[in-house]
């Protein structure tokens, strides 16, 4: 098939490589000329110097795929809706909010353009491993792009179901990004569980620390029970083999710890790109409890210092009611 790819970042560029390698023909566009020209030279894809140029290079009915930051999607659609023709398909493969999909689909439908939302998971490993694709939209347009979806997905036995091969038409407009939203909320929780568990392992030698008696700090009981200097890279590697908690995420954790056991390259400020917040918003509206996912999201806020004032106020209250001094850092 022929496909126009808009956005050539970490995922968009690798998707072009995977498609070209499988024999699809892609027309690519990025606002950065050097990026699109380098990828075109590498893969043999056609390079467009504008969105209008991309439209002119694709035969009708066209298929265009956006891999863009959330903030760039609506401005791009504003330009495209003046260029696309009835029967064309526009896919948003980024991390848009599913309720924005509902609005965009209606807007483009008034021009006869089909809008498909596709939650895409796979990160920088998608080129070789393939991408898990969660698709929402009308049945017929989704069927039309099945060869693209099948190529981008991990694949496997052609007789297997699409879900077994790594892609699924989840439902109508917005359903793909809704499923991806929950996927990323779960991802937050899994990451937090691994991080907290390994942090407990890392401090298993707390009994070796000499601490002067301090009225403001609860003493460590049974110091002899916390004298373990544990090898975290080896434990991570161990758990990869036969453990109930083994996963691809643990594979990546083991890889990171093997490279740098102290993780000295990181300051520990964890970003959140929106999906965790949206997952909790959906849980609230559905009145569905999600305490693990909520805690995982709030821990990311804390990692960025956004609990700073609250912690200062806690110290202030302790001093006001009990005259307690603030504990010094590192003690």
85 within 8 A of 112, measured Cβ to Cβ: yes
Coil, strand, or helix at residue 317? helix
Per the residue annotation, which of 37, 81, 138, 187 is the catalytic one? 187
120 within 8 A of 184, measured Cβ to Cβ: no
**Strand 46-47's sheet: what is its strand order?**
46-47, 25-29, 2-6, 63-66, 89-92, 114-121, 132-136, 167-171
Per the residue annotation, which of 180, 267, 275, 328 is the catalytic one? 180
302 within 8 A of 195, measured Cβ to Cβ: no
Residue 152, both tokens: 């981008």
Angle between helix axes 175-202 and 291-303 (nearest 10 degrees) is 70
Residue 90, both tokens: 């526009």
Query: Catalytic site residue 187?
Result: yes
134 within 8 A of 148, measured Cβ to Cβ: no
30 within 8 A of 36, measured Cβ to Cβ: yes
Q: Which residues are catalytic?
A: 180, 187
């Amino acid at each position: 098939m022929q496909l126009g790819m808009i956005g050539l970042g970490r995922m968009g560029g690798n998707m072009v490589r995977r498609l070209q390698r499988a024999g699809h023909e892609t027309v690519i566009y990025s606002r950065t000329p050097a990026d699109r020209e380098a990828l075109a030279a590498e893969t043999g894809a056609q390079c467009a110097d504008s969105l209008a140029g991309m439209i002119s290079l694709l035969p009708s009915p066209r298929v265009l795929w956006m891999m863009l930051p959330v903030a760039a999607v609506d401005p791009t659609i504003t330009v495209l809706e003046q260029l696309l023709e009835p029967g064309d398909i526009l896919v948003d493969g980024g991390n848009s909010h599913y309720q924005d999909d509902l609005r965009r689909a209606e807007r483009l439908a008034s021009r006869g353009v089909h809008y498909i939302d596709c939650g895409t998971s796979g990160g920088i490993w998608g080129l070789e491993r393939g991408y898990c694709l969660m698709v929402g939209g009308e049945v017929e347009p989704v069927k039309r792009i099945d060869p693209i979806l099948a190529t981008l997905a991990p694949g496997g036995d052609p007789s297997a179901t699409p879900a077994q091969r790594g892609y699924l038409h989840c439902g109508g407009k917005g359903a793909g990004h809704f499923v991806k939203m929950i996927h990323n909320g779960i991802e937050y929780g899994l990451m937090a569980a691994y991080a907290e568990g390994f942090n407990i392992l890392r401090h298993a030698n707390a009994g070796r620390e000499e601490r002067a008696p301090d009225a403001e700090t609860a003493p460590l009981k049974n110091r002899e029970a916390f004298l373990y200097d544990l090898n975290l890279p080896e434990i991570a590697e161990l758990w990869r083999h036969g453990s109930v908690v083994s996963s691809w995420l643990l594979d990546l954790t083991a890889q990171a710890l093997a490279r740098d056991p102290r993780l000295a390259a990181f300051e520990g400020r964890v970003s959140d790109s929106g999906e965790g917040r949206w997952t909790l918003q959906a849980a609230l509206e559905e009145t569905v409890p999600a305490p693990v996912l909520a805690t995982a999201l709030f821990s990311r806020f804390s990692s960025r210092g956004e609990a700073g004032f609250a912690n200062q106020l806690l110290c202030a209250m302790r001093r006001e009611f009990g005259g307690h001094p603030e504990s010094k850092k590192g003690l």
